[in-house]
């Protein structure tokens, strides 16, 4: 995982410690790409 410097400086990411539980959300585009890749492998 990578945090954009602006996001790091302007959110509470810098207060997180190792082991902090976070909710990760992925870009919808990534979901579509994964679906396309899965479909192309079945053909």
19 pLDDT band, cuts 50/70/90, is very high
Asked whether residue 1 is domain-assigned, the answer is no
Asked whether residue 8 is domain-assigned, the answer is no
Domain that holds residue 31: 17-43
Q: What is the value of pTM for the model shown?
A: 0.44
Asked whether residue 29 is domain-assigned, the answer is yes
Q: How many domains does the chain have?
A: 1
Asked whether residue 41 is domain-assigned, the answer is yes
Asked whether residue 31 is domain-assigned, the answer is yes
With a pLDDT cut of 70, the percent of the chain lying above it is: 95
Rg of the chain on CA atoms, in Å: 16
Separation of alpha carbons 43 and 34, rounded Å: 15
Asked whether residue 3 is domain-assigned, the answer is no
Asked whether residue 12 is domain-assigned, the answer is no
Residue burial 13-23, b: 16+ Cβ < 10 Å; e: rest: eeeeeeeeeee
């Amino acid at each position: 995982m990578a945090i954009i410097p602006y996001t790091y400086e302007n959110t509470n990411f810098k207060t997180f410690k190792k082991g902090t539980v976070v909710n990760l959300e992925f870009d919808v585009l990534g979901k579509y790409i994964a679906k396309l890749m899965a479909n192309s492998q079945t053909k």
